[in-house]
Structure formats: structure tokens, C-alpha cells
Amino acid sequence: MTRIDAKFAKLRAEGKKAFVSYVMAGDPDVPTSLDLVKGLPAAGVDIIELGLPFTDPMADGPTIQEAGQRALAGHMTLDKTLQMVRDFRADDDETPIVMMGYYNPIYSRGVDRFLSQAKEAGIDGLIIVDLPPEEDDELCIPAQKAGLNFIRLATPTTDDKRLPKVLENTSGFVYYVSITGITGAAEAQAEDVAPEVARIKSQTDLPVIVGFGIKTPAASESIAAIADGCVVGSAIVSEMAKGKAVSEVLDFVKTLADGAHRA
């Protein structure tokens, strides 16, 4: 059982929905980013998605693209991202961390070497948005064998014919993308998302977590209410981009987490 599996079991036992937060590693710099990540669990975050900066983030909207550019301008690397996780794990051995990013940096490192380093650092799962199920032998299957969950995205365009393929080797949870398009674009609507979540849940026992387009505590609550939890990314990254103190950003995160936990 991974930390992700254990976290969902604990939430189920407590009758709570999951709140997942996305932050970009190294934005605006490593010390500030690490302070933010370390503060997330106390702000109510159940699972941390840690973005790996990449030069060509095709699924990301302007907010997260710019966060990645700030991180890269500050010389953020895969090695420094792994070290951030180690530093976090020095004080927290319970909160799951999912690395979210693109395949190129992993391919460049070498899959076996990367998985060994990720596992040793304390990463629990991967979301690699540019590897389709047809490429599962490339990273998904090796990751599962190494003890990491491989979390797949389902979208509004994932039809009934495609869905079983998407779910086939997915573990940890299913990430449902609530809107078509890039991150940080339109706002998610619970009435649109609910039938899709029900459709996915009819095909898998995995938790279904909804992300994209969730920007407020009210939206966090309404979306978590029709799923097993929600993800907020761009809204949090936007607060960092304004140059706010980490404590102010964490206060904002807590309002979002409280919303999800009310669901």
C-alpha cells in the first residue's frame, strides 16, 4: 500500500473528501517553494502534486507555464526537485507527494535511474501528461513495479470506448479533467462534472479526483461533493505569482481545503 492508498483509506474512514493541491517546484525560488510545500499539510492538504518545471508544458495554461518559467530561470532542475522532496520527508513521512510533469526529463535521466531516485526521495506517484496508455511499457508499468502509483487523466473527450484503456494500468486515483483545454481556463461546474464522475466510477474502484477550473472555496466544496475530492492548482500558483508571503498563500489554501472537507 502506497501513501496515496493509505491516505484515501483514512479519508474514507473519516467520511471526508480529499483536497489535493498543485504547486510548481522551485517557484519563485527553492527556499520559498519548500516553505510552501512544508506548510501545505497543516493548511489541510491531503495530497501534494509537485510540478516538475519543463520548457514545453503543452497541457498547462499561462499561470502554470509562467510558474515553470520562473522556476527554470532560477535554475530549478530534476535533481533539485527530488531534493525538495527529501527535505520535506525529513519532517513528514505521511503526506503523499505526486510528481506531475512531462516525460522528457525522465527519459533523459533514464527510467530505471529516475524511478530509483524518486522512490528513495519519497515520491509516491506520477502524473505524466504526455504518455498515453499505448506507451505504458515506457514508464507506467516500470513505475508500478517500483512501488509508485501511476495516475492517469480522464477528460470530457474520454468516451466509453477509450475509458477502459485509460483505466487499465492506472493506480492511486483517477484524475478527471473537468474541462476541455488547458489548466486555469474555464470554471468547473458540478452539474456538468457529476455524470462524468459517475461514469468513471462505474468502471473502477479507484477514487476519482476532479481538477482544472476550481478557483474558490465554494467550487472546491461543490466539486468535491460529487467526486472523491478535488485538485486546485492555478489559483494557488496565481497567489504565489502575486508575490504574497507564504503564510498568506497557505491561508488561501486552507479556505480551499476547508471547502473540500465540508463536502
**pLDDT tens string 204-223:** 999 999 998 899 999 999 99
CA distances from 102 to 106, 113, 222, 246 (A): 8, 16, 30, 27
User: Which whole-number Å values give the CA distances from 201 to 16, 161, 189, in the listed order?
Assistant: 17, 15, 18
CB 128 within 8 A of CB 139: yes
Residue-level pLDDT at 35:
98
Has residue 7 got a pLDDT over 70? yes
Comparing 222 with 60, which gets the higher pLDDT?
A: 222
* Residues constituting the chain: 263
By C-alpha distance, which of 249, 199, 262, 263 is closest to 21? Answer: 249
* Average pLDDT over every residue of 112-124: 98
Peptide linkage before 133 cis (omega within 30 of 0): no
Question: What DSSP designation does 188 have?
Answer: P
pLDDT confidence of residue 188: 72
Please state, in angstroms and rounded to a whole number, the distance separating the CA atoms of residues 247 and 98: 23
At 6, the amino acid letter reads A
Residue 189: pLDDT band by 50, 70, 90 thresholds? confident
- Nearest Cα neighbor of 53 from 69, 41, 33 is 69
Which whole number is the average pLDDT over 135-154? 97
From the list 44, 7, 97, the residue with the least C-alpha distance to 255 is 44
174, 206 contact by CB (below 8 A): yes
Nearest of 53, 51, 49, 52 to residue 4 by alpha carbon: 49
238 has a pLDDT exceeding 60: yes
C-alpha span between 139 and 156 (Å, rounded): 24
Query: Whose grid coordinates read 487499465?
Result: 168
Residue 130 cell numbers, joined:
504526455
The domain 3-258 is classified under which CATH number: 3.40.50.2300, 3.40.50.1010, 3.40.50.11060, 3.20.20.70? 3.20.20.70
For residue range 242-262, list pLDDT tens digits in order: 999 999 999 999 999 999 999
Task: Using DSSP bridges, classify how beta strands 47-51 and 97-101 pair: parallel, antiparallel or unpaired.
Answer: parallel
Phi/psi-derived region of residue 81, left when phi > 0, alpha when psi is between -120 and 50, beta in every other case: alpha
Q: Which residues are designated catalytic?
A: 49, 60
